[in-house]
Amino acid sequence: MPQPREIRASVVVPAYNAERTIGRAIESALAQTEQRCEILVIDDASSDATLAVASQYAERDPRVSVLHNLVNRGPAGSRNRGLSAARGEWIALLDADDTFAPHRIETLLTQGELHKADIVADNLLLCPEENVNARQPMLSSRDLPAAKWLTTAAFIAGNVGSRWAPRVSFGFLQPVIRRDFLRNHNLRYDEENRFGEDFMLYTACLLRGARWWLMPEPMYHYSIREGSLTDVQSAADLLRIRSMEDRLLRSEPLVASDATLMHALRAHKALIDRFYYYRAFTDAVKARAGSRAMALLFESASGFRHIMWEGLLRAPMITMKALRGGYRRSA
């Protein structure tokens, strides 16, 4: 009787209304030089032909499996379903509108075994859909001149970014992760969050001792559409991230014993605070909840400062969107 085929990597692809791009994503996973992969497409109750397109690939290639959510669970819930079904040694994450370079899985797994890492990530190649000539690595050679170990403090600090480089954030990285590490530590995505769920999971992995190897070569092709990565976070999402970071600052021994990590975490929390107060305030204004808006504005000196400062920073973007004819739904 033939032995079951070894599966080195499980490629988890959450997909919602991605009929235009899901085929391209699946094909890039099937074209890997490391062929011992399974591709798990999780259709998140799409209303378009995503399920049908993915199912056609599953019918043609036994490496592709399609799981269908009867109700929309969001990217975190869909990824968790993929993690539960995965059989590979490594978990590789792939968004439905992105692609892998052909040698990506082989390279990352080779590096992971060589360095005995639990997490391995490469750089991202940012690919604006409206301008193929504007592709560039997320992390420049100055930011990441050579491969290195990524500490918890460096990961947190790498999520602070700047107003002038909003797409430079370690939270956007799409690493491969040892499945046994996630299973042994009972780690999953927070399904309540639809923003920052990657940041929360990666932070939890690092605090539990994960060894993260980061490489400068951009082998993950990250598709960018106009309007994506902006205005997608809800106040509730931001509040849960704030609560997590408050808890870590108050009671996590590893944070208390590492001054660099504590500084990075406080800086990141200050950024989340600013986003939270602004989002909660603008939501209250839009809902005509005047008492709630005033309470947020004058809840504390920091709340007032965060709302005013973020409003000033966003004013040029808001003006440009208004001149273009208003806001588009974010991707």
Three-state secondary structure along the chain?
A: CCCCCCCCEEEEEEECCCCCCHHHHHHHHHCCCCCCEEEEEEECCCCCCHHHHHHHHHHHCCCEEEEECCCCCHHHHHHHHHHHHCCCCEEEECCCCCEECCCHHHHHHHHHHHHCCCEEEEEEEEEECCCHHHCEECCCCCCCCCCEECCHHHHHHCCCCECCECCCCHHHCCCEEEHHHHHHCCCCCCCCCCCCHHHHHHHHHHHCCCCEEEEEEEEEEEEECCCCCCCCCCHHHHHHHHHHHHHHHHHCHHHHCCHHHHHHHHHHHHHHHHHHHHHHHHHHHHCCCHHHHHHHHCCCHHHHHHHHHHHHHHHHHHHHHHHHCCCCCCC
Domains, the chain: 9-224 (3.90.550.10), 235-322 (no CATH)
pLDDT digits (tens, 9 = 90+) for 22-35: 999 999 999 999 99
pLDDT for res 85: 97
pLDDT for res 138: 94
| Triad 231, 14, 147: Cα angle to 5° | 80
pLDDT for res 283: 75
pLDDT for res 291: 74
Q: How far is CA 168 from CA 78, 106, 230, in A?
A: 25, 25, 13
pLDDT for res 330: 36
The two tokens of residue 292 are 């709630």
What does the CA dihedral 77, 80, 85, 89 come to, rounded to 10 degrees?
Answer: 150
pLDDT for res 298: 65
Q: What is the pTM of this model?
A: 0.86
pLDDT digits (tens, 9 = 90+) for 185-210: 999 999 988 888 999 999 999 999 99
**pLDDT lower than 70: segments of the chain:** 1-5, 161-167, 226-232, 290, 293, 296-331
**How many percent of the chain have pLDDT more than 90?**
67
Q: Are 88 and 179 in contact (CB under 8 A)?
A: yes
Exposure class string for 113-137: b at 16+ Cβ within 10 A, else e: eeeebbbbbbbbbbbbeeeeeeeeb
pLDDT for res 321: 41
